[in-house]
Amino acid sequence: MLPFLAASTVAPMGIAEITDDWDAALAALAWHVEAGVDEALGEAPVNRYDLPAEAPRAAPAAPAQPAAPPALADPASSVDAVEAAKAAAAAAQTLDALHEAIAAFPHCELKQGARNTVFSDGNPAARVLILGEAPGREEDQAGRPFVGRAGQLLDRMFAAIGLSRTSPDAQAALYITNVLPWRPPGNRDPSPEEIAMMKPFVERHIALADPRLIVVMGNTPLICLTGQRGIMRARGNWTAALGRPMLPMTHPAYLLRAPEAKRDAWADLLSLQARLRG
């Protein structure tokens, strides 16, 4: 029955009142059926507003939920990642072993979104070790550092002073690696926590490669080895890191954005060349 019909205080026309008119009674019955009245409830009309309010029904009890299992502790959350990195790095006695230790290191989230662990490129016997920041998209795909546009510029820069990553001669060779072996999302700058976590591996990498000179390119390696930032102030000024001479330089990616800075980069390269000759 439709609600507005059930609440009416005036009864619709009944069959008993029109028994003298069969056609009218039939029409009234058809009207009732069409309106949804399909059942006779009584002889007299009922005013629904006069009925006592029905007590609200109690809501069915919610099914009992099983007790939640105790949360499992995240193994990485209770581990000091920096201490774990120090232990893993110290245990590596060769560059190959260090590569394996970094690839197996489970405490850096960057690893989850990377395609490859970017370890190094060039000649490990080289006198010059170049320390960059982190892989970009091309480096992540290739599994090698400095292979994109910035890497191509780097190759041309050092070729101008007679150094190459492909040279078998240690005197003319380059060895290249990064602070971070995994690409940060969106090529963002590495966080201080990520730099601190990877620093033991960087230090061990330099100790095992044992270069004569270190060239740091960009703020991230400068922070990693010296704890200071400000590559524009530091560039071109020789200092020391890990017991070796270190030359800060602007990153090739910056030179692509600011070609006017190439003059300073060329001066830094000439300084490096003079240091090697001396």
Question: How many structural domains is the chain composed of?
Answer: 2
In the chain, helix, strand, coil percent, each to 5?
45, 10, 40
pLDDT in tens, 182-198: 999 999 999 999 999 99
Task: Identify the band that residue 176 occupies on the pLDDT scale cut at 50, 70 and 90.
Answer: very high
Task: Please give the mean pLDDT across all residues of the chain.
Answer: 85
pLDDT in tens, 56-77: 555 555 555 555 444 433 444 4
Determine the Cα–Cα distance for residues 125 and 129; give it in Å rounded to an integer. Answer: 9
pTM of the model: 0.72
Do 170 and 249 lie in a common domain?
A: yes
**Does 37 score more than 90 pLDDT?**
no
The CATH number assigned to the domain holding 268 equals 3.40.470.10
Residue 35: C-alpha distances to residues 23, 67, 143 (Å): 18, 52, 77
Q: Which amino acid is at 209?
A: A
Both tokens of 197, joined, read: 């976590």
Q: What is the pLDDT of residue 253?
A: 96
**Does 134 score more than 50 pLDDT?**
yes
Classify residue 58: in a domain, yes or no.
no
Do 19 and 124 lie in a common domain?
A: no
Classify residue 134: in a domain, yes or no.
yes
Classify residue 53: in a domain, yes or no.
no
Q: What is the arithmetic mean of pLDDT over 10-17?
A: 47
Segments forming the whole domain that contains residue 36: 11-44
Classify residue 240: in a domain, yes or no.
yes
